[in-house]
Structure 1
Amino acid sequence: MTDIVFSESDRLEIGADEYRLRRERVFRLLAEREIDALCVFGPTRVAYLSGFFFSPTERPIALILTANGQVAALLPNLELSHFQQQGPKLDDSAIYPEYPGGGSGRHPLLFLRDLLSRLGVLGKVIAADVDGYEHRWGYRGPALSAVLEQPVQADVALIDDLRMVKSAAEIALMTEACRWGDHAHRLMQDSIRVGSEELLISHGASLQATRDLLAELGGRYVPKAREGLPANAMFIRGANTAHPHGLHESGAVGVGDVLVTGAYGVVGGYESELERTMIVGEPNAEFQRYFAAMLAAQQVGFDALRPGRTCAEVESDVRRFIRDELGMDDLVRHHTGHGFGLEGHEHPFLDLDDHTVIEPGMVFSVEPGLYVPEFAGFRHSDTVVITESGMERLSLYSRELDDLVVAG
């Protein structure tokens, strides 16, 4: 799909030049829309534009971009050195002592108001991804529009639309993430035995895959989070799989259990997705029927993906096949897939009500599922990238039943 952009000695992360180009796209967008400044609160959007990855807490952080090319930030004091280590040079900043005030007697968003005033945009046209900081970890705060005493054009699409089509570097990172998701899944599948505990097998495989990743990549691997592992795998079992997002259960794997798995890697902050439906012991006729139906529906999804079509048209093809060819429309619980990159789910969605036009460079999961109450769920998920003529799988784990049987 794309030329390899990382050499065997490169650190596996987006470089400063690409972050600068992203900000320049925003500057042009602001000028086109006659917006004087944009305040970005969403942690993933801040990272996308600046390279500053952080652990979001109750302390508001905002990146400010102005139409005349200025870059500024609202930061708590405890993140200042962290931003200086990762982020771009700032034209101005507002550093507050602590939330809710740290003795200053002032809410952090009042510091942001002062910053916007110094930038010369207060009272002018201001936009934001959301109208103020999100309420997490006990944070309480007013809307940005209330603090500024003026309207704010709140629109997550201002940044998220730019994130839909991935660059060559992003696709390279996601390809590497897929490789490690596949590896984690292989370790997990090879470890499952009758009597295994799903939690212990899941976490054990994730830890071993992470050891393997770090041993191979060494200093090229750049963690972008405080939590989680670079390579992960898990599964749920039995009738619990009839819940698309069933939680782990205690107890042991048994003969006849259907397993629905999930595995992913995280490289340079970018994620992958791999899911498989498996069986412990010889599959009976009922299992084989639903497995074959699910596999055929996923293939319809693969075949439907190409530039110029809409996400809704892809979903329509899959749903029509499930309804008219399989007669299983009542077993559908969710749409066919979603975009992703820095987040596990991103806009757009392969959904009947998403009319986004598909373009080369978009990355999707393809995961139509069939869920049989009191029996099992059936879902494969693969990471795919849109090419000039169709799509290409980045997750390469086998989809075939013969390769997904665990010895009973």
Structure 2
Amino acid sequence: MTEPATGPARLEISRAEHAGRRARLAQRLQDSGLSRICVFGPVRVAYLTGFHFAATERPVALVLTDTGDVTMLLPALEAEHYAHQCPDLPEPLTYPEYPGGGSGRHPLTLLADHLRASRPGRVAADHDGYENRWGYRGPALSALLEQPVHDGLALIDDLRMIKSPAEIALIREACRWGDHAHRLMQDAITPGANELTVSHAASLQATRDLLTALGDRYVPKAREGLPANTMFISGANTAHPHGLHRNAGVQPGDVLVTGAYGVVGGYESELERTMHVGEPTPDFERYFAAMLAAQDAGLAALRAGRTCAEVEADVREVIAGLGLTHLIRHHTGHAFGLEGHEHPFLDLDDHTVVEPGMIFSIEPGLYVPGLAGFRHSDTVLVAERGAERLSLYPRDLPSLLIPAH
């Protein structure tokens, strides 16, 4: 964590840790016989430099050489913002505007000129040119350079799989505020309550509480969204894994599937619960118990040295033993950190070896058409032995019942 001159540590990744990430990536370039890598993904740029920005149609790119030299391509409007966040890095290469701002030059031609002026060598990138967003159109980097651009995505994202102690501390803190937001929301849900208004009110109150408690230690890393968020969907709509909100009030007998997360230092948490309004039916209790058993199997299966596929297989074996395989709609979980979903995935076709320091969601779901969906999700840290649940919200049914009156 970054330590200011006075006062407690700010909740963000230090410049020294960002420098260490770049050094490890530079070593991976050397090991792969690559002279440099162009990084276009906004989250990857932030991971390597600490520069968090609003990604628009204006290309941003980081060039890192195998010796650790840094060049950043930026629109001129971001230059001061970059200098404020990254005073330890060299001045950027800037362009006036996208698609050219009257210069007659597309911004990526500036990047290509810089790369051509560098010493010869194999070039990699996380994407062959800037990613299409907000109306952006531009040439492929390989076309501009008239040479192959090698796929360097895994060189960066494999580094991101193992979280550092500082990253884990930020995610642990994010879990605390996701749990708090969920508690405020659950306490506010009553028959007739609207999904949207209750969710947003609880998120806003949890954010106020977070800002009061953390004070100047909290360092926002985005222009949009709140640092503590929660929501729910209700009724038969929950039978869709990614069901949308209803503009209707909660009714007795409704099943609720919730979501909550915190964001601290740019790092996210994940928490989901299945709840019931009023006295649950035998069918609800049966499917809830099956879902809980599947999640228990995932928590027990997530151990260092196993593969993601083996974790998924253990969960599916439990569900199959209950005769409910036909209700599965997705894999058991995914890694996350700076993004809500990251590589690797707890999936039968992902054979990544689980290692200490990885963080996953464990969220096997069962979806009963016409009735409801059943899914808990927890943030789980892989430890040297076993796994540690970082989101600590209750999982048992009695704790997740909403009074019907």
Q: TM-score range by the shorter chain?
A: over 0.9
Question: Deviations 1:82-133 (Å, cap 9, x if unpaired)?
Answer: 1111125444632100000000000000110122234x23x42100011100
Question: Deviations 1:51-78 (Å, cap 9, x if unpaired)?
Answer: 0000100000001100122111110001
Question: Which residue of structure 1 lines up, in the alignment, with residue 43 of structure 2?
Answer: 44
Deviation at 1:31, TM superposition (A): 1.0
Letter in 1 for 2:392: L
1:381 partnered with 2:404: no
1:173 partnered with 2:170: yes
1:350 partnered with 2:346: yes
Q: Is the 8 A contact 1:70 1:91 kept in 2?
A: no
Question: Which residue of structure 1 lines up, in the alignment, with residue 130 of structure 2?
Answer: 133
What are the residue-to-residue correspondences of 1:106-125 with 2, within 5 Å? 106-118=105-117, 120-121=118-119, 123-125=120-122
Q: Is the 8 A contact 2:295 2:363 kept in 1?
A: yes
Letter in 2 for 1:154: D
Deviation at 1:404, TM superposition (A): 0.2
1:69 partnered with 2:68: yes
For residues 265 and 50 of structure 1, the distance between their equivalents in structure 2, rounded to whole angstroms, comes to 22
How many aligned positions are there? 402
Q: 1:203 aligns with which of 189, 200, 203?
A: 200
For residues 359 and 188 of structure 1, the distance between their equivalents in structure 2, rounded to whole angstroms, comes to 34
Q: 2:393 aligns with which of 385, 394, 397?
A: 397
Letter in 2 for 1:250: N
Letter in 1 for 2:311: V
Please state whether the residue corresponding to 1:216 is helix, strand or coil.
Answer: helix
What are the residue-to-residue correspondences of 1:222-301 with 2, within 5 Å? 222-301=219-298
For residues 86 and 113 of structure 1, the distance between their equivalents in structure 2, rounded to whole angstroms, comes to 25
Question: Which residue of structure 1 lines up, in the alignment, with residue 323 of structure 2?
Answer: 327
For residues 143 and 212 of structure 2, the distance between their equivalents in structure 1, rounded to whole angstroms, comes to 51
For residues 308 and 394 of structure 1, the distance between their equivalents in structure 2, rounded to whole angstroms, comes to 20
Please state whether the residue corresponding to 1:385 is helix, strand or coil.
Answer: strand
Are the structure 2 counterparts of residues 6 and 97 from structure 1 closer, same or farther at C-alpha, using a change threshold of 3 Å? closer
Letter in 1 for 2:112: R
% identical equivalent positions = 67
Q: Is the 8 A contact 2:43 2:338 kept in 1?
A: yes
Q: Is the 8 A contact 2:2 2:12 kept in 1?
A: no
Letter in 1 for 2:116: S
Are the structure 2 counterparts of residues 326 and 26 from structure 1 closer, same or farther at C-alpha, using a change threshold of 3 Å? same
TM-score, with length taken from structure 1: 0.97
Q: Is the 8 A contact 1:242 1:377 kept in 2?
A: yes
For residues 237 and 143 of structure 2, the distance between their equivalents in structure 1, rounded to whole angstroms, comes to 46
Q: Is the 8 A contact 2:297 2:315 kept in 1?
A: yes
For residues 69 and 108 of structure 2, the distance between their equivalents in structure 1, rounded to whole angstroms, comes to 19
Deviation at 1:372, TM superposition (A): 0.1
For residues 290 and 6 of structure 1, the distance between their equivalents in structure 2, rounded to whole angstroms, comes to 48
Deviation at 1:320, TM superposition (A): 1.2
Question: Which residue of structure 2 lines up, in the alignment, with residue 80 of structure 1?
Answer: 79
Question: Deviations 1:122-176 (Å, cap 9, x if unpaired)?
Answer: x421000111000000000011000111110023111000000000000000000
Q: Is the 8 A contact 1:5 1:169 kept in 2?
A: no
Q: 1:362 aligns with which of 358, 363, 370?
A: 358
Deviates more, 1:9-18 or 1:108-117: 108-117
Please state whether the residue corresponding to 2:29 is helix, strand or coil.
Answer: helix
Question: Which residue of structure 2 lines up, in the alignment, with residue 98 of structure 1?
Answer: 97
TM-score, with length taken from structure 2: 0.97
Deviation at 1:5, TM superposition (A): 9.6
Q: Is the 8 A contact 1:38 1:65 kept in 2?
A: yes
Instruction: Give the CA RMSD over aligned residues.
Output: 1.3
For residues 57 and 293 of structure 2, the distance between their equivalents in structure 1, rounded to whole angstroms, comes to 46
Point out where structure 2 has 5 or more consecutive residues left out of the alignment.
none
Please state whether the residue corresponding to 2:93 is helix, strand or coil.
Answer: strand
Question: Which residue of structure 2 lines up, in the alignment, with residue 406 of structure 1?
Answer: 402
Deviation at 1:187, TM superposition (A): 0.0
Q: Is the 8 A contact 2:361 2:377 kept in 1?
A: yes
Q: 1:185 aligns with which of 168, 178, 182?
A: 182
Please state whether the residue corresponding to 2:92 is helix, strand or coil.
Answer: strand
Moved beyond 4 Å, runs of 4+: 4-8
Q: Is the 8 A contact 1:6 1:172 kept in 2?
A: no
Deviation at 1:186, TM superposition (A): 0.1
Letter in 2 for 1:60: P
Are the structure 2 counterparts of residues 26 and 272 from structure 1 closer, same or farther at C-alpha, using a change threshold of 3 Å? same
Q: Is the 8 A contact 1:337 1:349 kept in 2?
A: yes
For residues 38 and 274 of structure 1, the distance between their equivalents in structure 2, rounded to whole angstroms, comes to 35
Please state whether the residue corresponding to 2:236 is helix, strand or coil.
Answer: helix
